[in-house]
Structure 1
Amino acid sequence: MSYCINPLCSRRHNPEYTENCLACGNPLLIDGRIRLLRPLRSLDEDPSTYTDVFEVEDVEPSWGTKSRIRVMKVLRWSDPKLVRLVQRESLILQTLYHPGVPKCGVDDYFTFKLKDGRLVLHCLVMEKVEGENLQQWLKSYGMIPQKVALDWLAQLVDILESVHRSGFFHRDIKPENIIYQPDGQLALVDFGASRQITTTYLAKVGASGVNKRTRFSSGYEVTVVRTIRFSPLEQLNGQALPQSDFYALGRTFVNLLTGISLLELPIDQNTGRLIWRDKAPQIDKPLADLLDDMMAPFPGQRPQTTQVILERLQRLPFKLKLNRFLVSNIFKCFLAGSLIATINASYKQINFALSAYYFNQAGHYMNEPKIAKKYYELALIYNPKDDEIYNNLAVACQVTQDLNCAIENYQKAFKLKPNAWELHYNLGNFYDEQGQYDQAEQQYKLSIKYGKNQPMNAVNNLSRLKNIQEKYSEAAQLALEGLKGTSDPVWQAALYKNLGWARFKQQRYAEAKDYLQKSVKLDSRRVDAHCLLAKTQEALGELDNARTHWEVCLISNNSGLPEISEWKQQILQRIFPTN
């Protein structure tokens, strides 16, 4: 059976292999390649739903005699705002390279004019993700255990990390938009509500009164996309932020962990937070704390980046074990026995527990380094021989620009663990940020030495420094050696970028282009690789291709490297000369 694409058609289903709709006469083969097999959403839904969604057979000519089963969205009417949403979704799906996001090609967005010429339909074809959404999964299997929650949360935050680093946020995370695939992996779908993170957009939101702890007032118009129960207050007011995705993700997991509709869960009238923990007895406190932080009422109270959430997830296994041990009868008996057996032993255990507590508290404030610094200092009072605490305190001091504090604590960490390659790398990164490249180079070399050539972050940064110092042959040699020692695509992308940079400066443009294209293919989110590839293609006279990569370079907002700022400024001065 084939379906008619015309949303106004009175009888949309047709016999198989029919060329034109029997009711309205419109072609059933769309754009010379697409045949609509079945609707994935009822065609009789509320007319406010602005898209039809079909499973389709795609016989794209470039695939030869083969065809693929895919999914196609069809915009029911050509409202300019809705057209922009579909076009934005097409751009996002082309930009993102993640197994948990549907794939979409550059030719998969097109328009189709109906036979009578009165209506132009905007169409978007994408990969079909097999499996069932988590709302269906919940109905079939009930609330999820903690082990599954940890696995799924890590997968989804990894997908979001890719989305956010590419300069977008989703705005409609909920169980229905998450697919559980047959191999156990999750996929995030329906990017029709997604938004680009740009300075213009954030300016609109800022001008509308968004603040960490204030209510929202009216201001610039920002398209409102909301799902009751899963959308935070700022999004209900049309002022969504990247942290709004964390709120929706936290609420999604409360729904999955309790098996209860969010509308049925009470809200604390004093704090505005959901009261849900008693409905999920299988969940330990550390995981519940993380979810509550993600669902904090105000954006500034939530983790500020996906990286902060990922770091907390990495520490969760230890915290969960520690929490279960601390609340167990075994621990209580052990504590009592230790107190009776020896005051000294108990004193050490208490100090260790207090130090661990303050260390973990600091982890809650990774996005507020001044608070984290105070907790690390308290942790050191009870355990002054822990090099990891000194290292983390030095990083917190570095972020708050307390440079003397950073140096002092790095030195204390080295006294406890002088040959730790991680410490040498962090200190090198500190000098790198201060522009003290000679000292940074020395520390990166020590990191590589003590890490036995394994620390690719140090190899990469050292190669980058050589480019900055205009020592291009040394930069290229370091990158080539690093490529021999790693199969990680992220590090390979970084090293190919440095190698391409060196070849560009040596005016070996063809080699530079090859290496930079490899970098972009391995990690499309590398802003510096796009910027350099644009410069290289300009040098080769490939201006149309260069323009595409300049656009990525300019719109991306996910790197603070000084050379990227310089390259962006150069192109902006060419586009908007001051004279």
Structure 2
Amino acid sequence: MNYCINSQCNNRKNPEELDFCQACGTALLIENRYRIVRYLRQPQPAHPTKIFEVEDWGMGLEDWGSLKVLKVLKYDNNPDLVRLFKQEARVLMWLRHPGIPRVEPNGYFTVSPHKSSKQLHCLVMEKIEGENLEEWLINHGKIYQDEALDWLQQITEILDQLHSQNLLHRDLKPSNLILRPNGQLTVIDFGTVGVGDWGTTKIGSLGYSAPEQMTGEAVLQSDFFALGRTFVHLLTGQSPMNFPTEGKTGKIIWRNYAPQISPLLADFIDELMNPIPQRRPKHTRFILKKSKELSEKIAAKTKSKTQIKLYWKFLVLILMGFIGSRLLLPKIPFFIQTWIFPTFDKKLTNIGFEQYQNSNLGKAEFYYKLALKFNPENAASYLQLGLICETRQDFGCAKTEYQQAIDSAPARNNYYVAVAAINNLSRLQIWLDGNSEIAINNLNLGLQLMSEIRQTYPFDFTKRVESNLHKNLGWAYFQKLNYSQAQSHLKKAIKLNYENAPAQCLLAQLLEKVPTDVDSLTKVRQNCINIKSTQNPETNTWKNLVRQSLQTEGEKL
């Protein structure tokens, strides 16, 4: 099937054997070389360009029959759009880098449909195989630290190519980055590239573009802001627009959604996103140097604990060999099975927890599972494995591990682990499954266990734990439309811990459903937004719902 390039044509689909469109007479072999195969992007009325996949039937043996991308400007009567389109063509012809689509010197041209004076501006470029990172996130989930450092280096090298030519990309975001099958990242969509005097045009994407760029005052460091925002999206799996901002600084609060990375890397990403351009890195070379130093520091921090890990691994191997020996097995004293193994599995769990705190999820997972080999009733390891599954957004796995923690906790009277697992499992049951009834039964069991926890843990700590149980019970009853029970539990949660932001946000939503005085509703809404808490994805959703209610009613905080 061949497509006609004429957007005014009544029937653009043509059999392959035709040279001219059967409906309008326009040549199907564009520039005597390219045949349109299909749309690569579905037509969007608001978008000034159309994107097609084309076959190249040029003279070069390398090009013969190869697939390329054809970008067509829909309008020739808008000087600014024509200028930007030609500018993109020139930029891509100049630059040669594996992270930039290749355009040959004759890749830009104009054509006119049959019996039309209208000129269609065309740009043919290399077709990049792979997924854009927005699609990649949907299919694979958020990235981890090693990927982040590698991708930061790659994207910065591409920006270095642009900036060295006095060019500014101005629209860096996950959907404009493609991961090739060989692992090479490629930046696409150079239609917004600025040449020389970058600050004359207000252009970019909300959530990614720097504040100064959106007011027409872009600088080189504006690309660094978008780079930081891009990595927030990649590391959290959420758009930067979803995160609350600090009132004084304007910085987004995102770190709790990326526990898999080192604070060192998080600090540097915050530096890239500083609202003030002068406080961001000055040039790409600095970012390249800094990312290399970060990789070395993070590696050194991990290496400092290698001796301890090797010691425990060596001890594990010895014990495994000792256990596996048929000759020695009958001679293992009873006290080893009774005392050494339980102590040993706790040690492994502690090592796993250290790895988890350092965002080494794979190694943490290894030690937790190894601890369970020695003691299948190690409830703390099940709980931590559930947290790892949640971080990876594998919620089915998380629910299984939390249930195992609940079932195993009584063996060692580990009541806190049981209650923590109940809280986390109930959250997922309410949020993902809509299964409020089961969640209510589990949470009431958790409240019964609080008497045991109070005997062991400090008073302030137990209040926060009990507050979360009541918050989740309030949420469950709210889902069941039992507003009186929901309100009772949410108020208990806030009384136990006034800083429980999720409880404040849920109560704000509930008070919108029941008769209440305006002052009480306003106060709870303000608490919801002002109290910092971004530990769970549902909390941020609730904060945004409260903000939307305020905007609808014209209130201002």
Which category describes the TM-score, using the shorter chain as reference length? 0.5 to 0.7
Identity of matched residues, %: 44
| Contact 2:149–2:295, Cα closer than 8 Å, also in 1 | no
| Alignment map for 1:99-178 (pairs within 5 Å) | 99-178=98-177
SS in 1 for 2:67: strand
| Contact 1:286–1:323, Cα closer than 8 Å, also in 2 | no
Structure 2: give runs of 5+ residues left out of the alignment.
310-557
Q: Which amino acid aligns with 2:190?
A: F
Q: CA deviation at 1:24?
A: 2.4
Match of 2:74 in 1: 76
| Contact 2:55–2:65, Cα closer than 8 Å, also in 1 | yes
Match of 1:453 in 2: none
| Contact 2:209–2:226, Cα closer than 8 Å, also in 1 | yes
| Contact 1:94–1:105, Cα closer than 8 Å, also in 2 | yes
Q: Which amino acid aligns with 1:12?
A: R
Q: CA deviation at 1:242?
A: 1.5
Match of 1:249 in 2: 227
SS in 2 for 1:122: strand
Q: Which amino acid aligns with 1:276?
A: W
SS in 1 for 2:149: helix
Equivalent-residue separation in structure 1 for 2:21 and 2:80 (angstroms): 30
Match of 2:278 in 1: 300
Q: 1:12 to 1:223 in 2, by over 3 A?
A: farther
Equivalent-residue separation in structure 1 for 2:14 and 2:240 (angstroms): 41
Q: CA deviation at 1:71?
A: 0.5
Equivalent-residue separation in structure 1 for 2:81 and 2:54 (angstroms): 22
1:61 to 59, 62, 69: 59
| Contact 1:284–1:324, Cα closer than 8 Å, also in 2 | no
Q: CA deviation at 1:83?
A: 1.2
| Contact 1:70–1:127, Cα closer than 8 Å, also in 2 | yes
Match of 2:396 in 1: none
Equivalent-residue separation in structure 1 for 2:202 and 2:67 (angstroms): 33
2:188 matches 1:189:
yes
2:32 matches 1:32:
yes
Match of 2:211 in 1: 233
SS in 2 for 1:139: helix
Q: 1:249 to 1:64 in 2, by over 3 A?
A: closer
Displaced runs of 4 or more, over 3 A? 62-65, 321-328
Q: CA deviation at 1:266?
A: 1.1
Q: CA deviation at 1:257?
A: 0.3
| Contact 1:95–1:166, Cα closer than 8 Å, also in 2 | no
Cα offsets for 1:497-521 (capped at 9, x unmatched): xxxxxxxxxxxxxxxxxxxxxxxxx
Deviates more, 1:319-328 or 1:79-88: 319-328
What is the TM-score with the length of structure 1 in the denominator? Answer: 0.51
Equivalent-residue separation in structure 2 for 1:252 and 1:61 (angstroms): 40
Cα offsets for 1:382-412 (capped at 9, x unmatched): xxxxxxxxxxxxxxxxxxxxxxxxxxxxxxx
Equivalent-residue separation in structure 2 for 1:11 and 1:153 (angstroms): 46
Match of 1:13 in 2: 13
Q: Which amino acid aligns with 1:4?
A: C
CA RMSD of aligned residues (A): 2.2
Q: Which amino acid aligns with 1:163?
A: L
Match of 2:465 in 1: none
Match of 1:341 in 2: none
| Contact 1:39–1:54, Cα closer than 8 Å, also in 2 | yes
Q: Which amino acid aligns with 1:310?
A: L
Q: 1:17 to 1:228 in 2, by over 3 A?
A: farther
Q: CA deviation at 1:325?
A: 7.9
Equivalent-residue separation in structure 2 for 1:60 and 1:264 (angstroms): 47
Equivalent-residue separation in structure 2 for 1:73 and 1:300 (angstroms): 36
2:201 matches 1:223:
yes
Equivalent-residue separation in structure 2 for 1:65 and 1:281 (angstroms): 47
| Contact 2:56–2:63, Cα closer than 8 Å, also in 1 | no
Match of 1:316 in 2: 294
| Contact 1:37–1:56, Cα closer than 8 Å, also in 2 | yes
Cα offsets for 1:167-215 (capped at 9, x unmatched): 211111111110100111111111111011x3xx16xx4xxxxxxxxxx
Equivalent-residue separation in structure 2 for 1:66 and 1:41 (angstroms): 24
SS in 1 for 2:227: helix
Cα offsets for 1:481-530 (capped at 9, x unmatched): xxxxxxxxxxxxxxxxxxxxxxxxxxxxxxxxxxxxxxxxxxxxxxxxxx
